[in-house]
Structure 1
Amino acid sequence: MPSTVCSRLHGLFIARKTTATLPKSPKPATATATATEAAATAPSPPQSDPSESPSEDRKLRALVKKFKKDCDSSRFRRPSGHGAYQFIVRRLSAAQKFSYIEDILEHQKQYKDITNEGFAIRLISLYGKAGMFDHARKLFDELPQLNCERTVRSFNALLSACVKAKKFDKVRELLSEVPEKLSIQLDRVSYNTVIKSFCELSAFDSALSVIDEMEKNELEPDVITFNILLGAFHRNNKFADADKLWTLMEDKKIVPNVRTYNPKLRALVAANRISEAVELIEEMRSKGSNPDVFSYNAVIKGFVDSQNLEEAKRWYKEMAKDGCELDIATVSMLGYFVCKMGDFDFALELCKEAISGGCIPYKTMMQLVVHGLIKESKIEDAKELVELGKLQISMEK
C-alpha cells in the first residue's frame, strides 16, 4: 500500500540527520479559491528594488509586461513555447526578482490551460527552478479549485521542485502527507527523485536502500536510476561503490548511455587517471554509446591539465570527426591553453571553426590570438580574425 511504502521512505529521512543550512524560498501569497478569483486577485505589478539600477529594473519590468501580453496567445502557451517561460524565469531568478516570477506565473491561472495537469506541472517545475518551493506547493494545493486533476505526475513535479529548490526536508513531509491523502501510487519517477534527494544530501546508503523499496513494489530501477547514483558516487570519488553499481547494472541488463559514462570520465580525469578515461571512451564506442561533446571535453581537460598540447589537439580533432558541435567550454578551455603554449596557428584555426559554427569565442581569448599573431608578424591572419569576429557579432544583433 502507498502508505506503507511512504512511511518507510519517510523513515529513511528521519534516520538521516543533516545540519545543512538550506536556502529559504520566498513565502507564497494567500491561496485563491477559484480560477476566477485567481485572475481577479492577481499580484500587483512587481515593485522595484531601490538598491538596483533603475534602467535595469525598467528592462525587467518591460520584459515581464511583454511576456504577460505574449501569454494571451494560446500558441505561446503550448509546450513548444516552454523555452520562453524557462528563459524569463531563469533571467528573473538571476536578478533575484522573485516577486516578478510570482507575477508572471500567477498570471497563468486566468487561462483555461490551468485545468490541464501538464500545464500546471510546467508552472510547478518553474517555481522549483527558481527555488520557490513554497509557491510550487501552494499551486499544487490549489489545483482542485482550479479544476485540475492531481495525479502522480504533478506530485512528481512537486517532489522535483523540492530537490531543485534544495528543500530536502520537504521531501520527507510530502512523502508522509500527500500519497496517502490523494491515493497516489508512487512510480519510478517518484523513486528516482527521492534517490536524487538522498544523493544531494550525500546519504548514499539511504539512496541505495530506495532501490530495495522499488523492487518490493515490483518496480525495477532504470538507466536514469543508475545515472543519478553513479553521477553522485563519481562526484564524491566513490569509485569502489560505483564499480559495484556498474556490476549491478550489468546483472539487470540495463544498457548504459552517454550520461552514464560522462560522470565517470570526469571523475577519472579529476583523479589524474587520464589513460583510463581514454580507455573508457573506447569502451563507450565498442558498446554503441557514442561520446558527446561533454565526453570529449572531459578528456581534453585531462590533457590540458597535464600540459599535453599534442594530445589535447588530437582529441579536439577526434571530437570534430565524431560530428560533435563545438561549445563555448571547448573553445575557451582549449583556446586559452594553446595561446599559453604559443600555438597561435592552431588558435586561429579553432577561432575560425568556432565562429563558422556560430560559437563566438570570448573577447579576451580573441584578443590573445590576435596579439599572438601580430607578434609573429602574421598581420593578415590577425586582420582576418578581427573581421570574422565583427561580422559574426553584427549578424547576431
Structure 2
Amino acid sequence: MYRRVLHRSLCTATTTSSEASTTSIKTISRDLYKESNFTRLVEKFKKASELERFRTKSGIYEDTVRRLASAKRFSCVRDILDHQKKYPDIDNEGFCSRIITLYGKSRMYRHARKLFDEMSQRNCTRTVLSFNALLAAYLHSRKFDSVQTLFKELPKELSVEPDLVSYNILIKALCETGSFDSGLEMLEEMEKKGVNPDSITFNTLLDGLYAKGRFEDGERLWVSMRGKGIAPDIRTCNSRLMGMAFEKKTKEAVEFLEEMKKDGVEPDVFSFNALIKGFVNEGNLEGAKKWFGEIGKSEFDPHKVTYATLIPFLCEKGDLKTAHEVSKDIFNHKLRVDGSLLQLVVDKLVAESMVSEAEEIVELGKTNKYCRYKLNLAGAEGAEEAEEKKSE
C-alpha cells in the first residue's frame, strides 16, 4: 500500500515538474514574441538560453533571429548566436549546425564559416550534416559561386560524401546563376554516385527551365521525372503551367489542369494565375476574365500577382468597367499592391470621363485601414467639363 502511495506521489511530482517546465518555456516564448524592444529581446533571449530545455527549441530560435534580421539588427543576431558558444551544446554537431543555419538565414555567411571552422578546434566532428548547413548558409546569403567552390573543396578536406541535400543545395545555387546546363549535369553525377534525386531536385530545375523560356528542356526533364516514378506536386505542376503560359499554350494548359485534378493534385491560386497569364499573353480578354472568375469559385483568394497581371490588361483592352470592379476587389481582400497599379486605373477612368468611378477608387485608397494609397484625380475636372459639353 505504502509503495503504491509513494509511486503515485513520485509520478505526480514528476508530472507537475514537467508541466511547470513546459509552462515556463511557453511563458518565455510568449514574452519574447511580445517584446518589441530589441535590446530587451536580446537580453531576455540570452537569459532564457541558460535553460537546457530552451536551447532545444529551434522554432523559438528561428523566429527570434528572423525578426532581428528582418529589422536589419544584425549585431543583435550576432550577440544572441555568439552567446550560444558558452554552453556545452556547442560541442554537438547538431546544435552547431543549427546556429550555422541561423547565421545563413540572416545572410551572415562569414560568421557561419567562422563557427564551422571552430568546430574542429573543439573536437566537434564535422560530417555531411554541418557541411550541408554551411552550404545552405552561403545559399541563403546569395553567395552562389561560393556554394560551388565549397562543394568541390570541402568533401575532400572533411572526408565526407555529399548526399541528396548537398546536391539539392548546389543545384539551387547553379539555377540561381542561370547555369541550368550545369544543374542538369549534376543529375547525371548523382546517378553515378548512387544518389537518387527527389521532387525538390526536379522542382528546382523545372522552376528555372520553364521560367527562363527553356520549355523543351523542361518538357524533357518532366518526362524523365515521371520515368523515375516521382509524382509531380502542386509546385511542379505550377512550374509547367507557367511554362505553357510563356509559350502561349493555353489550350494545353487548361487540359493539363484537368489532368492534375485527375491525378489528385488540386490547383491553387498560382495555378489560376498561370492560366490568366497565358490568356493575357495571347491577348484573350474573355479567357483571362474567365479564369479570374474561377478563383472566386475556389477556396482561394486572388494574389497580388493576380491583379498585377490582369488589371493592366483590362486597361489595355479598354474594359474599364471590369478594371474598376477588380480594383475594388483589392480593397475587399485587404491586399497590398503597388500604388501605380491603382493609379493606372484611376487615370484610365478619368480619361474616359468615368470620373465618379475614379473618385470611388481614390476614396477607397484614402480610407482603407489596411494600406492607404495616395492616388490623384489629375485631369478629372477637364474630363467633367468635356462630358458636360457633350451633354449640351
Q: TM-score, normalised by structure 1?
A: 0.67
Q: 2:211–2:239: 8 Å Cα contact kept in structure 1?
A: yes
Distance in structure 2 (CA, Å) of the matches to 1:344 and 1:302: 21
More helix by share: 2
**Residues 387/261 of structure 1: CA separation in 2 closer, same or farther (3 Å cut):** closer
From 89, 110, 120, the counterpart of 2:69: 89
Out of 355-364 and 155-164, give the one that drifted further.
355-364
Distance in structure 2 (CA, Å) of the matches to 1:295 and 1:303: 13
Distance in structure 1 (CA, Å) of the matches to 2:39 and 2:266: 44
Out of 184-193 and 113-122, give the one that drifted further.
113-122
Deviation at 1:315? 0.9
Out of 277-286 and 200-209, give the one that drifted further.
200-209
**Residues 209/379 of structure 1: CA separation in 2 closer, same or farther (3 Å cut):** closer
From 197, 204, 209, the counterpart of 1:233: 209
**Identical positions, percent:** 40
Q: Which runs of 5+ in 2 are unaligned?
A: 1-35, 373-392
The one-letter code of the counterpart of 1:291 is P
From 223, 239, 246, the counterpart of 2:199: 223
Deviation at 1:382? 1.8
Aligned to 1:291, the other structure's residue is in SS state coil
Distance in structure 2 (CA, Å) of the matches to 1:76 and 1:349: 52
Distance in structure 2 (CA, Å) of the matches to 1:341 and 1:206: 42
Number of residue equivalences: 329
Is 1:297 the equivalent of 2:297? no
Distance in structure 2 (CA, Å) of the matches to 1:393 and 1:368: 17
Deviation at 1:189? 0.8
Distance in structure 2 (CA, Å) of the matches to 1:162 and 1:231: 21
Deviation at 1:100? 6.5
Deviation at 1:211? 2.8
Q: 2:209–2:215: 8 Å Cα contact kept in structure 1?
A: yes
Show the counterpart of 2:43.
69
Deviation at 1:221? 1.3
Deviation at 1:345? 4.5
Distance in structure 2 (CA, Å) of the matches to 1:187 and 1:273: 37
The one-letter code of the counterpart of 1:293 is V
Is 1:250 the equivalent of 2:231? no
**Residues 287/347 of structure 1: CA separation in 2 closer, same or farther (3 Å cut):** same
Is 1:161 the equivalent of 2:140? no
From 169, 180, 184, the counterpart of 1:208: 184
Aligned to 2:370, the other structure's residue is in SS state helix
Out of 208-217 and 307-316, give the one that drifted further.
208-217
Show the counterpart of 2:294.
318
**Residues 66/356 of structure 1: CA separation in 2 closer, same or farther (3 Å cut):** farther
Q: How does 1:377-388 map to 2 (within 5 A)?
A: 378=356, 382=360, 386=364
Distance in structure 2 (CA, Å) of the matches to 1:142 and 1:301: 50
Show the counterpart of 2:235.
259
Higher relative contact order (CA 8 A, sep 6+): 1
Distance in structure 2 (CA, Å) of the matches to 1:244 and 1:305: 24
Deviation at 1:87? 4.1
Distance in structure 1 (CA, Å) of the matches to 2:325 and 2:95: 46
Q: How does 1:276-295 map to 2 (within 5 A)?
A: 276-295=252-271
Out of 177-186 and 214-223, give the one that drifted further.
177-186
Distance in structure 2 (CA, Å) of the matches to 1:166 and 1:392: 32
Q: 2:128–2:163: 8 Å Cα contact kept in structure 1?
A: yes
Q: TM-score, normalised by structure 2?
A: 0.68
Q: 1:274–1:302: 8 Å Cα contact kept in structure 2?
A: yes
Q: How does 1:1-397 map to 2 (within 5 A)?
A: 64-72=38-46, 73=48, 78-81=57-60, 82-92=62-72, 102-103=78-79, 105-110=81-86, 114=90, 117=93, 120-143=96-119, 150-367=126-343, 372=349, 375-376=353-354, 378=356, 382=360, 386=364, 389-393=367-371
Deviation at 1:348? 4.7
> RMSD across aligned C-alpha pairs, in angstroms?
3.9
**Residues 220/286 of structure 1: CA separation in 2 closer, same or farther (3 Å cut):** same
Distance in structure 1 (CA, Å) of the matches to 2:328 and 2:213: 38
Distance in structure 1 (CA, Å) of the matches to 2:308 and 2:226: 37
Distance in structure 1 (CA, Å) of the matches to 2:342 and 2:92: 49
